[in-house]
């Protein structure tokens, strides 16, 4: 038992050493069926202008593959999950019609699991807007969970709409900076009737990209 505890502490130290200054990471590590302390990853949420300005690329894409594997880190072995997207629309940066693969810290390989609460997770077939940072770090998205927006197709007849990582419908771009909800059950949220449609969201992004450089970058 003591050996497992030491192993979890060693993993924790390695993870903390990877953090960028603006990101505070607290996590649960589960290795070979044993678990460490549970907490969550938190970041300072960007405003909409900051989100757009800090993105090297902004794309709309559909998930085609999700896989996890162990990789060598600066101070030892870690688990990362690689998510591949088929890009359908480019709003900033990258070319359309290509596949983009992003690496997220965490995942499960055999009996080893590295769980980072708050890290965005993806499933094949889902469609998302991704605000991709110039430097990946532990998460390739600007503001981590704040850099992923879901494209929701209602089960009942209705219009498609944009939702945040926590499934909350995005009503206006000022809501980008709001804290994420702890409860992420989609059925507990509104029907999205007042949320931005994909076309409306894209129009707002394109307009913000066209703005002169404002120097709106977080410290």
Q: Which 3-state string (H, E, C) describes 84-100?
A: EEEEEEEEECCCCCCEE
Identify whether 72 is part of a domain.
Answer: yes
Phi-psi region of 23 (alpha: psi -120 to 50; beta: other; left: phi over 0): beta
The domain containing residue 108 runs over which residues? 44-209
Distance CA 38, CA 181 (A): 17
pLDDT of residue 214: 59
90 located within any domain: yes
Give the DSSP letter string of 47-88.
PHHHHHHTEEEEEEEEEEEEEEEEEEETTEEEEEEEEEEEEE
Q: Which of 7-16, 109-118, 161-170 has the lowest mean pLDDT?
A: 7-16
User: Is 30 contained in some domain?
Assistant: no
Q: What is the pLDDT of residues 42-86, one digit of tens each?
A: 688 999 999 999 999 999 999 999 999 999 877 788 999 999 999
Residue 215 in any domain: the answer is: no
pLDDT in tens, 158-198: 789 999 999 999 999 999 999 988 765 555 455 678 999 99
Residues pairing with 151 in the sheet:
162
Total structural domains in the chain?
1
Please indicate, yes or no, if residue 126 is contained in any of the structural domains.
yes
- d(CA 215, CA 167) in angstroms, rounded, equals 30
pTM: 0.80
Burial environment of residue 90 by CB neighbours within 10 A (0 to 12, 13 to 18, 19 or more): middle
What does the pLDDT read at residue 152? 93
Question: Does residue 185 lie within any of the structural domains?
Answer: yes
pLDDT: is 106 or 73 the higher one?
106
Asked if residue 152 is part of any domain, the answer here is yes
More confident of the two residues 39 and 90: 90
Asked, for residue 219, whether it belongs to a domain, the answer is no
Lookup result for tokens 């549970």:
38
Instruction: Note whether 27 and 9 are within 8 A (CB).
Output: no
CATH number of domain containing 49: 2.40.50
Going from the C-alpha of 134 to that of each of 2, 31, 94, 104, 139, the distances in angstroms are: 40, 31, 12, 14, 11
């Amino acid at each position: 038992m003591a050996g497992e505890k030491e192993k979890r502490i060693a993993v924790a130290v390695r993870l903390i050493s990877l953090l960028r200054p603006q990101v505070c990471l607290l996590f649960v590590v589960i290795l070979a069926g044993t678990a460490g302390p549970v907490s969550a990853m938190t970041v300072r949420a960007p405003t909409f202008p900051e989100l757009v300005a800090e993105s090297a690329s902004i794309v709309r894409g559909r998930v085609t593959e999700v896989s996890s594997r162990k990789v060598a880190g600066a101070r030892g072995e870690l688990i990362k999950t690689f998510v591949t997207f088929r890009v359908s629309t480019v709003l900033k940066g990258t070319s359309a019609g290509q596949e983009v693969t992003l690496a997220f810290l965490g995942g499960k390989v055999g009996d080893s699991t590295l769980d980072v609460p708050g890290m965005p997770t993806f499933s094949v077939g889902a469609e998302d807007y991704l605000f991709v940072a110039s430097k990946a770090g532990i998460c390739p998205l600007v503001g981590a969970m704040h850099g992923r927006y879901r494209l929701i197709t209602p089960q009942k007849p209705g219009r498609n709409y944009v939702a945040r990582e926590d499934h909350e419908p995005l009503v206006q771009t000022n809501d980008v900076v709001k804290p994420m909800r702890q409860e992420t059950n989609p059925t507990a949220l509104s029907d999205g009737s007042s949320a931005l449609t994909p076309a409306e969201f894209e129009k707002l992004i394109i307009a913000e990209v066209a703005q002169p450089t404002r120097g709106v970058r977080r410290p």
